[in-house]
Structure 1
Amino acid sequence: MIHSMTGFGKAFTQLPTKKITVEVKSLNSKSLDLNVRLPLTYREKELPLRNTIAQALERGKVDFSIYVEVTAEETSSKINAPIVHSYIKQMQDIIPNADATELMKMAVRMPDALKVERIELDENEWEKIELVIQQALDNIQSFRRSEGKSLEDDFRFRIQNIRDFMDKAISLDKERIDGVKERLRSNLLEMKVNVDENRFEQEVIYYLEKMDITEEKVRLSNHLNYFLETLSGTEANGRKLGFITQEMGREINTMGSKSNHAEMQKFVVQMKDELEKIKEQVLNVL
């Protein structure tokens, strides 16, 4: 079963003094392009966290974020009292009769009036956060599986369309060959020359061999079957499916160049259209 690279996962938990929310978003990419946003307190866990995310998601443009909402009354920001007093004293020296409240309002806006106390990482707390991280990763993988199922249904639909258009094109083969023979004979009659029937038949056979699309039909059928087998396999991946679509495109293009028949070329164009839609969606497959 295939998985999409597009997905979203979210999970949260309530700790004694804070609410932790984890979000993971991913889009398609040729490789793993990982962007991790962490609060300063958890920054030392970034490297092992990156490894965990990489193993879980493998490929895609991934944005991972941990948000912290403090729910306790205490805060890590403290008023730097000596600095604030110093600012107030300096302003009183400049404006002796200034209102104390107004001076306080100005002082707390000055540089270094607030100091942020660094909070050391609590390993027990981090263990709880790891559970939330895993839950968010499980959620995005579930999303990817669901999107992958939708992609697979669309692929099967379009592969069947290509097969139907190919069969319709092949059904015109006898009409095409008869038309080629008729055109060649008409041209010779217009030239008013004597024709050796044996030689004429040999030339027609030689000409028709160059226009024969039997090999292309067989190879294209094999590629269509291989694509479906890969979809159902346990090792299905976007790169492999992309390579198969390239081979399918070569056979369809060759059929178009050999067809030399207006109605047959219409079916070839329809096959190309379906294949392009498959190629666009294959870019989203993990």
Structure 2
Amino acid sequence: MIASMTGFARQDTEAEGQSLVWELRTVNHRYLELRIQLPDALRALETEVRALLQQSLGRGKVDAVLRLESPGEEAVVRFDPVRAKALITTIREIDQMMVNGARVSALDILTWPGILQRDMALDADALRPAVLSGLEGAVADLRAMRAAEGEVLRQTLETRLDAYSERVRQLRDRRAAILEEQRERLRTRIAELDLTLDPQRLEQEVALLAQRLDVDEELDRLDGHIAATREILDRDEPVGRRLDFLMQEFNREANTLGSKSHDLETTRVAMEMKVLTEQMREQVQNIE
């Protein structure tokens, strides 16, 4: 089953008097890009967190954020007075160099990295099981959401593939009619020029024209691409890159059909194929 690269999950876990809140957000990306934010006291767990995410997700830009919330009224927010004083001193020195500098509030000071020390007494080893368990739960929820969206994408692509197959069938059905139209056009042109042409020579010209207009190979390749896409959509693995490559092949064949077109109907169908290809490509960009 294919999966979307877009998703969100939140998981709350209680441990050691702390509320551990995991939030995972993912969007489409060419590769797997992880951006992990952990409290300072739990930085030692980043390697395990990264490994778990790499094992669980194939592609996408992932923001994984762990927040600590102390429940109850006894929660205490600590700050580093030494860093705070040094920061205030630096701000005053810079302010003297400026004209009408922006006013800095206490809240601005507290948001500076390292000023708040809410997690200074945390025991990373004691919290490790809860941190990883909460992450596993968040990843499971994220994968479920991505799978649900992936199913919608699969159905959309199946609909586009059905439309593509119909366009291929239309062009195959028109091959004989197109050749007869070109034969009549050639005869009309000869008659207009008041020329006498040997019937065998006429058929030779028609055969050369048919060779130039022959699109059997392109249609056969498109049938192959359609079958390959359907097969890939049923795989239980990340398939976004394979599908992206196939979209390039779809576009190449549609362009070739357009270049060989000598009638408005074929041109119209080739253009519809290019539109369908672009619609599929947009969907594929979000598949893991």
- TM bracket (short chain): 0.7 to 0.9
> Do the aligned residues in 1 keep the contact of 2:24 with 2:62 (CA within 8 Å)?
yes
Q: Are residues 22 and 115 of structure 1, via their aligned partners in 2, closer, same or farther at CA, if it must alter by over 3 Å?
A: closer
Alignment of 1:157-236 (within 5 A): 157-235=159-237
1:4 is matched with which residue?
Answer: 4
TM-score for both structures, normalised by structure 1: 0.83
State the shift of 1:37 in Å: 1.1
> Do the aligned residues in 2 keep the contact of 1:166 with 1:268 (CA within 8 Å)?
no
Deviation per residue, 1:224-253 (Å, 9 max, x gap): 111101111234511111111222222222
State the shift of 1:207 in Å: 1.2
- Helix, strand or coil: the match of 2:33? strand
> Do the aligned residues in 1 keep the contact of 2:42 with 2:124 (CA within 8 Å)?
no
**Corresponding letter in the other structure for 2:39:** P
Q: Which has the larger radius of gyration?
A: 1
1:32 is matched with which residue?
Answer: 32
2:103 is matched with which residue?
Answer: none
Alignment of 1:55-66 (within 5 A): 55-66=55-66
State the shift of 1:74 in Å: 4.8
1:256 is matched with which residue?
Answer: 258
Q: Are residues 198 and 150 of structure 1, via their aligned partners in 2, closer, same or farther at CA, if it must alter by over 3 Å?
A: same
- Helix, strand or coil: the match of 2:190? helix
Percent of matched pairs sharing the same residue: 29
Aligned CA-pair RMSD: 2.3
Segment drifting more, 191-200 vs 27-36: 191-200
1:77 is matched with which residue?
Answer: 78
2:284 is matched with which residue?
Answer: 282
- Helix, strand or coil: the match of 2:63? strand
Distance 1:277 1:233 in 2: 21
State the shift of 1:129 in Å: 2.0
State the shift of 1:115 in Å: 8.7
1:103 is matched with which residue?
Answer: none
**Structure 1 segments unaligned to the other structure (5+ residues):** 85-108
State the shift of 1:59 in Å: 1.4
2:45 is matched with which residue?
Answer: 45
Q: Are residues 115 and 173 of structure 1, via their aligned partners in 2, closer, same or farther at CA, if it must alter by over 3 Å?
A: closer
> Do the aligned residues in 2 keep the contact of 1:17 with 1:70 (CA within 8 Å)?
yes
Distance 1:230 1:284 in 2: 15
TM-score for both structures, normalised by structure 2: 0.82
Q: Tell me which stretches of 4 or more aligned residues in structure 1 moved more than 4 Å.
A: 114-117
**Corresponding letter in the other structure for 1:252:** A
1:150 is matched with which residue?
Answer: 152
**Correspondence 1:121 to 2:133:** no
- Helix, strand or coil: the match of 1:172? helix
> Do the aligned residues in 1 keep the contact of 2:14 with 2:130 (CA within 8 Å)?
no
State the shift of 1:16 in Å: 4.7
> Do the aligned residues in 2 keep the contact of 1:76 with 1:119 (CA within 8 Å)?
no
- Helix, strand or coil: the match of 1:77? coil
> Do the aligned residues in 2 keep the contact of 1:230 with 1:236 (CA within 8 Å)?
no
**Structure 2 segments unaligned to the other structure (5+ residues):** 86-108, 110-114
> Do the aligned residues in 1 keep the contact of 2:41 with 2:124 (CA within 8 Å)?
no
